[in-house]
Structure 1
Amino acid sequence: MSGPEQAPVTVVVATRNRRDRLLETIPRHEGPVILVDNGSDDGGPEAVEAAFPQVTVVRLGENRGAAARNVGVELARTPYVAFADDDSYWAPGALGGAAALLRDHPRVGLLSARVLVGQQGRLDPVSAAMAAAPLGVPAGAPGPAVLGFLACAVTVRREAFRQVGGFNPQLHVYGEEALLAMDLAAAGWLQAYAPQLVVRHLPLPAGRDNGARHRIEARNRVLTALLRRPPAVVARTTMAAWRDDRRGVADAARLLPWALRQRRPLPDTVENDLRTLTSR
């Protein structure tokens, strides 16, 4: 929200019932901020409005999960949008750096930043895996190709995000990034890891209900496979998810008619890249 130079990037923050952390992270963003509230009842949106009147606050009145970010993207009037969670923020200069990279690399639809966790700034394992560059560095990209990301640490080209429909509302939360990454790649957009861009993630010691999370993650892995992957991958994914949480597989089974109606297999090039990643 402040800084020596405002970047052509809007920060979209989705939140639910994390008032105190939100008040800590919101002022750290440079540039305009849109806060999309998923039906909080802890006074967070009101507190942000009182403390930071320049922030656009959108109250959904319900919990739409990751799809709340879609609302923020539609409201944004900048060519690029950065996502943040209520417990994360973009380090100084990162948004300007992301805008410059996207400007200079027109085929790139998404940039994934380096994530530093906690006050100690530990490197997130996802960032370490991206730095290993298993898919190489394609022509036209500023860094290693990626086919997945942490939603709290990406900047997207608004045009690309809207073209593929954003986050699928049916997946709600947990693992929702995988489908969007596949759809961006299928539409021909490059996605790259840019370690010079930094996001700080400050997770709370006491988080959400882990049992519910595992169930939803299992469901979303199966649904994502059903929506885009070959039958053999669907079968393997379902068996693995069954071992992790049978309730999640049962939840996915109830959505099978929807998933089959929405099914669009990936291009061979994207499927081959996914196989490269899973074979490591």
Structure 2
Amino acid sequence: MTGTSAPPATDGVTVVVMSRDRREDLLATLPRHEAPVVLVDNGSTDGTVEAVRTALPEVTVVPLAGNAGARARTIGAGVAGTELVAFADDDSWWAPGDLARAAEVVRAHPRLAVLNARVLVGPEERLDPLCAELAVSPLGTPAHLPGPRLLGFIGCAAMVRTEAFLAVGGFDPVVRFPGEEERLSLDLAAAGWDIAYVDSVTVHHHPSTRRHDPAARRTAVWRSKVLTAVMRLPLRDVAGTVAAALRAGGPERRGLWRALPDLPAAVRRRRRLPAPVLADRRLLAG
């Protein structure tokens, strides 16, 4: 249950949920969380804030005037003020008992900044295809980690060490959403932190019926790829990302054009990554 009824095993853990115009999804998923919940609302116009405050008064609701994208999660982590934060979307939740298990794993591994859980999709509980890739990460499983080392994660299925997450800026206001995990993951690695896939804990994800069409999502993802490249990658890799977008087709090209208004902000935040992190990224790229 949410709020003060959270079991002692989840002390020091807060679930942070970001949402926009998903009132009915939230009313179904928020009660499933076994730790206190902070909901950061990205300027909903469907009565989300009022409905959640009425139906679930134990949930801390942080209403934003507009859509801050994934930056809402960073705001939520700051409001939570707990040692660990578990992220969930309005259509996802952590399996019973797994918030506590994930917290035990993170605390037992001092260099672990992000734990990526296994994700089961839909009522049929299909393994998310990305999880199958994470489980065989080319970066291997070092002795000091509880699972394969990663250079990325799934935002709705991650538990983060709040101190590490906020120290590298959390999710930034330039990339916003989706694809917000990449820049954060690169910066955590540059700061000496690790990310690992742990399939002994599970997140359930029942994709909302109000999701955007796949082409629009590809456009948004490529916008994020371009901006992340500008902020962190060598210039030849930036050029390669732009060239890939131009070759790929309509949605990817639109993503490139939509990145243009945010390029000045990306350039101001530019900081090249250390060589070992770039080497790991190239290894993952094949």
- Please tell me the TM-score bracket, short chain as reference: over 0.9
Residue 178 of structure 2 is aligned with which of 174, 181, 194?
A: 174
Separation in 1, partners of 2:136, 2:253: 33
Matched, 1:74 2:78: yes
1:246-257 equivalent positions in 2, closer than 5 A: 246-257=253-264
Which residue is 1:271 aligned to? 278
Asked if 1:155 is matched to 2:162, the reply is no
The letter for the 2-side match of 1:231 is: L
Percentage of matched positions with identical amino acids: 53
Question: Comparing 224-233 with 195-204, which one deviates more in the overlay?
Answer: 224-233
- Give the unaligned 5+ runs of structure 1: none
* Native 8 Å contact 1:6 1:31 kept in 2: no
The SS at the match of 1:180 is helix
Write the deviation string for residues 111-150 of structure 1: whole angstroms up to 9, x where unpaired. 0000000000000011110111311012321111011111
Cα separation, 1, equivalents of 2:210 and 2:58: 30
How far off is 1:176 after superposition? 0.8
Deviates more, 1:208-217 or 1:28-37: 208-217
The answer on 1:92 being equivalent to 2:96 is yes
Aligned equivalent of 2:114 = 110
- 2:53 is the alignment partner of 1:49: yes
**Structure 1 range deviating more: 126-135 or 213-222:** 213-222
Inter-partner Cα distance in structure 2 for 1:63 and 1:45: 14
Pairwise CA distance, 1:206:
4.3
Q: Which amino acid aligns with 1:123?
A: L
In the TM superposition, residue 278 of structure 1 has moved relative to its aligned partner by 0.6
**What letter is aligned with 2:263?**
L
Partner of 2:34, secondary structure, is coil
| Post-superposition offset of 1:247 | 2.4
In structure 2, the partner of 1:233 is 237
Task: Answer whether contact 2:146 2:198 (CA < 8 A) is retained.
Answer: yes
1:236 & 1:175 partners in 2: Cα distance? 18
Tell me the amino acid that sits aligned with residue 83 of structure 1.
F
Give the letter for the 2:71 counterpart: A
Q: Contact between 2:94 and 2:202, CA under 8 Å: does it hold in 1?
A: yes
SS at match of 2:192: coil
Secondary structure at the aligned position of 1:263 is classed as: coil
**For 1:10, which of 9, 14, 37 is the aligned residue?**
14
**Mind listing any 5+ residue stretches in structure 2 that lack a counterpart?**
none
C-alpha distance in structure 2 between counterparts of 1:217 and 1:109, whole Å: 24
Q: From 197, 205, 226, give the equivalent of 1:222.
A: 226
Contact persistence 1:221–1:241 (CA under 8 A): no
Q: CA deviation at 1:204?
A: 2.3
2:174–2:266 Cα contact (<8 Å) kept: no
Q: CA RMSD in A?
A: 1.4
* Cα distance between partner residues in 2 of 1:192 and 1:41: 37
Q: Which moved more, 1:231-240 or 1:154-163?
A: 231-240
**Is contact 2:174–2:262 with CA below 8 Å preserved after alignment?**
no
Q: Which amino acid aligns with 2:70?
A: A
Alignment of 1:132 onto 2:129? no
Query: Aligned AA for 2:43?
Result: G
TM-score normalized by structure 1? 0.95
Supply the distance in 1 between the matched residues of 2:280 and 2:81 (Cα, whole angstroms).
33
TM-score normalized with structure 2 length: 0.93
Q: Which amino acid aligns with 2:281?
A: L
CA contact (8 A) 1:143 1:192 kept: yes
Q: Which amino acid aligns with 2:237?
A: V
Aligned pair count reads 279
**Is 1:195 aligned with 2:199?**
yes
The one-letter amino acid of 2:16's match is: V
C-alpha distance in structure 2 between counterparts of 1:213 and 1:133, whole Å: 25
What's the CA shift for 1:268? 1.1
Kept after mapping to 2: 8 A contact 1:9/1:78: yes
Aligned to 2:174, what secondary structure does the other structure show? helix
- 1:241 positional shift: 1.5
Counterpart CA distance in 2 for 1:162 and 1:126 is: 26
- One-letter code aligned to 1:267: P
Matched, 1:38 2:42: yes
